[in-house]
């Protein structure tokens, strides 16, 4: 077991999800309640990481954030920030590729809240902010929890975009999925099997929680 890679994967998953969830909460609620111009195109853009190979997303991030790009060059010159082959770059890549896993469950959870409840709360004099905190969030929490679990588990097992953006620098960008790949390349199938089984067990728990939360949203 590569404990450093496991710790790095957990750290990457937690940091990425904690940054992603507030954005997904705002975006999911906005898509659920507002009729925006070009909404279908925005939803399609959000869902693109689901159909594109992770290596394609990683390639565009590598080109767009590398030191040869204008953004990468500015960040390195003025802020001394290097995103490619760095943990911070993995966080950005993980957030982008996991947007659909976070936004869609939250959007569906808010859409499942009856409009009559929100209208009744408004008629009782509750402000929009209070309606959000006292009514919408308690009813939408299964979708929010589903978004957290799905995003966390997906980051934990992500391979393609992480490899493209970060390579395999031990202690910096070498996550558990990359460690499994390296063990297979070294013909160390026992270690690869142990780490793979850990991800399989985590995936099973994740799917069980997600299914339970999905049924909870449907019953609301």
C-alpha span between 163 and 166 (Å, rounded) = 5
Closest CA to 103 of 32, 207, 208: 32
Which tens digit of pLDDT belongs to each residue from 36-70? 788 888 888 888 988 888 888 888 888 888 877 87
183-195: pLDDT as tens digits: 888 888 888 888 8
Question: Residue 215: its pLDDT value, please?
Answer: 64
Note the pLDDT of residue 16: 93
> How far is 90 from 166, CA to CA, in rounded Å?
6
In this prediction, residue 218 carries a pLDDT of 52
Distances (CA, A) of 41 to 20, 36, 44, 106: 21, 10, 5, 18
Of 104 and 79, the structure prediction assigns the larger pLDDT to: 104
Q: Is the pLDDT of residue 120 over 70?
A: yes
CA–CA gap between residue 36 and residue 43 (Å, rounded)? 11
What percent of the chain is predicted at pLDDT more than 90?
15
Contact of 59 with 51, CB cutoff 8 Å: no
Task: Give the model's pLDDT for residue 168.
Answer: 77
């Amino acid at each position: 077991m590569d404990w450093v890679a496991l710790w790095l994967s957990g750290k990457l998953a937690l940091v990425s999800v904690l940054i992603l969830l507030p954005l997904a909460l705002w975006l999911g609620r906005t898509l659920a309640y507002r009729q925006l111009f070009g909404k279908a195109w925005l939803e399609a853009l959000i869902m693109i990481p689901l159909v594109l190979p992770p290596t394609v997303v990683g390639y565009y991030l590598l080109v767009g954030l590398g030191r040869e790009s204008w953004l990468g060059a500015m960040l390195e010159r003025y802020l001394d920030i290097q995103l490619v082959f760095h943990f911070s770059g993995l966080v950005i890549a993980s957030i982008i590729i996991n947007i659909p896993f976070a936004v869609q469950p939250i959007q569906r959870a808010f859409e499942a809240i009856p409009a009559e409840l929100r209208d009744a709360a408004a008629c009782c004099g509750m402000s929009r902010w209070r309606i959000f905190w006292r009514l919408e969030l308690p009813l939408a929490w299964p979708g929010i929890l589903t978004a957290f679990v799905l995003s966390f588990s997906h980051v934990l097992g992500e391979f393609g975009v992480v490899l493209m953006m970060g390579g395999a620098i031990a202690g910096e960008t070498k996550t558990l999925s990359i460690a499994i790949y390296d063990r297979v390349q070294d013909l160390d199938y026992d270690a690869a099997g142990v780490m793979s089984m850990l991800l399989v067990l985590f995936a099973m728990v994740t799917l069980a929680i997600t299914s339970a939360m999905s049924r909870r949203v449907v019953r609301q």
